[in-house]
Structure 1
């Protein structure tokens, strides 16, 4: 990162992808010297626990280890640690671009965009819509604009893939002037769904161009209905709180409950925000964990602990099943259901319970294939193919940055 970058990315250069959250930065370095761009990064890893008492740094194939970060400027310190790793791997080549996963592009930004001071100022206006991610991605961009203005940066938006949603899916049932001010359903996890639009035809052929629902189940979770490899409906809306029940977030919630909490129980706006984003979902209902694989271990516990664990997972699955059913109705049927992201890719019991409750659509699992997270987990008797497809948001960001800046 010490050589000048006075031109846009060209073949032979490297592109760095940063995926910044409130307490972590995932990073990946891709070799743009190969055509097509390799799906797997040349190097990747994660700084975790930024701002906390015990941050760690881990690279591919290396166990995460404690890392010393400046407590006064932990994010800057974490970026510096990543920068050192990048420098060690340049091998005489040039870092030509940095791509950032930016959660919200609002009603203005859809395609990957080179970020300058003016664009950064625009994107800061969307922080209230994605407070868990937006401010931290923008902090990293601001630091790098200041420290390395010679390296072009591209913002790749999680909302961008859903630009194809019809207006009836974007519209909120609020007064019309709210729509005119930009209050609408945007959709999220777009980089993941964009990868699915590339990977699914490779694995499933023309079936992937039909009536498809992709379930992105991680700490955040959403569903996307795709037809012709384009987003036609999704469960997340104006913010990343909407839709499915998540690890610590509520998902869709009766707004009357919020009015009650604020008017009758006198919770402040900040307290309600903390509850909705950090103390609800699986963690809030179970009282155990935000991770399904942890909660499931307590279903057999006696008393309230076991009951809450069972109810939490039942509600978690119910919300997924209900929304898949709704999206299947929008699509007019279902040809392919695909699970992705951390929970979707690795928790066979979640997939089994969801598909069990969708048997009315003709879903039938191959239990052996499901147990080993196989690419196709439906049985030959299933009228709907069911798959498991690892997502690759970092590759999408790198590819899109090269296209946008090249």
Structure 2
């Protein structure tokens, strides 16, 4: 069976590929023009300027319709953009050896860009547009997908999802199971059809489409329905709109706009303009697998992974893991902590603390402090300190397994472990 690889960027027609080549050629020609004196090309100065301007308009016009199809408004805006970049080139070219008569046309080019932009806005108001998420009546064989740490197993049919004219994802009808590797272990869940995939996907040959399924999927993929109850949602993925808000990391991607915010820096892209502050590496794409009927959603951004269900959420960033379910949370990393109501256990960075109801045991800098039954005790002993740190780690590891399985904290077991620890610590009291 032959297999093709479809990417969320969709099918790139030859026209768009030619536009990219022309853009690169224009950049090369611009560099040649800048060094024309050293290259002995002064006599071709005007010809190179004309060629660069022609290439600017060519790649802008050829790029029309990449997202929403070719429209009159799109063509006018492409001409406006071409005129604007031409005005910028002509204006700054005056200080770089451009002929004076051409440099003097910068103002006229800018005026054309403004007029064309206004015309595009006015004409655009009269154009009827239907920019919506649409599941196509086309089906392809689906036999699983491998995304590295995330895998989709099962068989069924994959239907392309388009926004405007651009393919941005797939909806799968079939028996599908998602599997993800995390530091806590393997997460595995059977998903209910239909399942949306906003990311790269391998599909097989074309097969018969189920029009009833397409109609159902189109009604379920509505953004208002998917995120209506999720005000302040930390992860939103609709193929063309991507938002990920994690621990010390934010990622937003819209058509022509991308924002990355990390503790190490920020990166903003608006069209061809890139702004950097510090170091903020691009995550290399965002993958989301979501049940359209239920609340399960798995999102992968670079090395980060987040799983959300109606009962819990798990966020993974390298070796750091944060699990939340109701008022219960588990954090694994440099510091390990477990919290549930009046119960908390934390250990890391040379210290440990256990709190359950009116009992508090803390260990730091070789000293153990105990508060229980309204009384306080202090033990300055290295062995006692190491005992508390070790027991705190064991308690977190023991409780985390059941927490991940959705069983919650076993208070009976936790009370027994704390009592055992208190009994052992009494031997260190004078």
Pick the structure with more helix per residue.
1
User: Same-fold call, TM > 0.5?
Assistant: no
Q: Find the structure with the greater CA-based Rg.
A: 2
Pick the structure with more strand per residue.
2
Q: Which of structures 1 and 2 has the larger relative contact order (alpha carbons within 8 angstroms, sep 6+)?
A: 1
Tell me the TM-score normalised to structure 1 length: 0.24
Tell me the TM-score normalised to structure 2 length: 0.23
